[in-house]
Every structure is written in C-alpha cells, then in structure tokens.
Amino acid sequence: MAAGPSHWKRWYRRWETQQESFNPTREARFTAMLDLVQASLPARFTALDLGSGPGALSARLLHRFPKARCVAVDYDPVVLRVGRGALGTFGGRLHWVDARLGSPGWEREMPFRRFDVALSTTALHWLERRPLLRLYRDLGGLLRRGGIFLNGDRLPWSPERPDLARLSERVRRVHFRGARVDSEWAGWHRWWAAAEKDPELAPLFVERARRQSQHPEHPDPSLSTHVLGLRRAGFATVDVVWRHLENGILYARR
C-alpha cells in the first residue's frame, strides 16, 4: 500500500526542522520576501518557485495570498515526491514541475506562459555560471513587464571585501557556538541519510544519483554574477533589499 499524506507530512516537517537548524534567519527571510510580494503585486497573481524543494516557500506564499497560484520547479525527485505528498495541489493552486533550471528548454515545461513573480530560496547557488545566466535570460521572457524576481540565498561578499567575509564567519561561529561548518550541516545530512532508508523514497535516490552524476553543482556564484545576469536579461532594478550578513534577498524588476 502506498504511503498516505501523513507519511509525507512527517518528512516535510523534518525537512523544515533541518533547514532551520543551519539558517536561524530563515523565517525572517521568508517573511521579508512575502512582504515584498505584497507591496509589489495585486492580490491575484501567478508565482514561480525556482528550486522549490518540497515547497516550503510555495506553501507560505499560498497560505498568505489565497488568490495566488504557484508553480514549484525542482530537479530532485526525492524532494518533489515529499512536496507532492505533503502539500498536494492546494485546491488546484499549486503545480509541480520536474525540470532542471537553466537547461535548454526548461521553461517549456511550465503550465503557464507568463508569471508575475519568480522567487527562489537557498537554491540558485547550486547553478554553474552558464545555466544561471541562461535561467535569468529565460526569466526575462517568462515574467510580465513590471514583474519581480526575488532570490533569498547566500550572497557572498565580493573579493574586495574580505573584512566583511571574516566578520560574517565570526558571527556564524557565535550562532553555532564555534562549530565547524560540517557540524553546522549535521541536521541536513541526517535528513538525507534517513530519507534514503524509506522504502517509498529509496527508488528515487537511484534517479537522484544519476541526475547528480550528470550535472554536478557546487559553484556558489558571486553577487556580481547574479546582478550581471539579471541586468543583461532586461531587469531595470537590481539590488539587495534585505541582508543579514551573507544571507540576503536580491530584488529585480522586469
């Protein structure tokens, strides 16, 4: 018998817990992003969640804006399964898409032709420079004129500011009581190790490993790379509008 919604909701709650364990300002960043959406758009809009994972940002957006609809896009079959099982479709307002961001033609998988806002949290730092720039170029065609893009992620200081990079690292050590970076991510590693043992998810890990072997992702692009790509894609306003050290929100208007 296939697992029911309660099974997937447990995995979703555990995902939330491990994400918060290494990002103590996560909820504040979510709130700031949704405040920006409310200040920029009418009550009824269509959103695109890029690198959605199991839908943490999509769920918060749809709860807060009952007239909105959202498309959640990710390329990890494990988190997509958790999200679909835990969140469903929000009464038809949430659509799930399995697509690799920045790959040629990824935007053709979308169920809608135009969007009012594209958002992403803790995802686009995985993209290499070329697919990231392609993603932004494609967003220039997907977003309506006046539409906005918000990226809540690690936005590293430029190499010209090593003093701020050192300051950020000292604050991180205060938050995590001097723990090494690998210890900081212990909850994340435990979630994946436990999920791989779940009979409902184990087959998807085979596909996940195949995809990761074809597309290794560990680039962590600089803030200047994001800004350059968005400006080339036709975004007139591009700037960081919220920041907690290296954790920030990049805002752009089409």
Instruction: Kindly report, residue by residue over 41-95, the tens digit of the pLDDT.
Output: 999 999 999 999 999 999 999 999 999 999 999 999 999 999 999 999 999 999 9
- pLDDT grade for 244, boundaries at 50, 70 and 90: confident
What is the tally of structural domains in the chain?
1
Mean pLDDT of 128-137: 94
What are the C-alpha distances in Å from 96 to residues 13, 143, 197?
19, 18, 24
For residues 69 and 77, give the distance between their C-alpha atoms in angstroms, rounded to a whole number. 22
| Proportion of the chain above pLDDT 90, given as a percent | 76
The two tokens of residue 117 are 């806002």
SS3 145: strand
Mean pLDDT of 145-160: 88
CATH at 205: 3.40.50.150
- pLDDT grade for 122, boundaries at 50, 70 and 90: very high
Instruction: Find where tokens 């004129």 sit.
Output: 145
Mean pLDDT of 105-134: 95
pLDDT tens-digit readout, 156-194: 777 777 776 677 677 767 765 655 555 678 999 999 999
- The answer to whether residues 86 and 12 touch, using CB atoms and an 8 Å cutoff, is yes
- Highest average pLDDT, of 12-16, 129-133, 245-249, comes from 12-16
For residues 216 and 22, give the distance between their C-alpha atoms in angstroms, rounded to a whole number. 23
Q: Which domain holds residue 210?
A: 5-253
Q: What is the pLDDT of residue 178?
A: 52
- pLDDT grade for 205, boundaries at 50, 70 and 90: very high
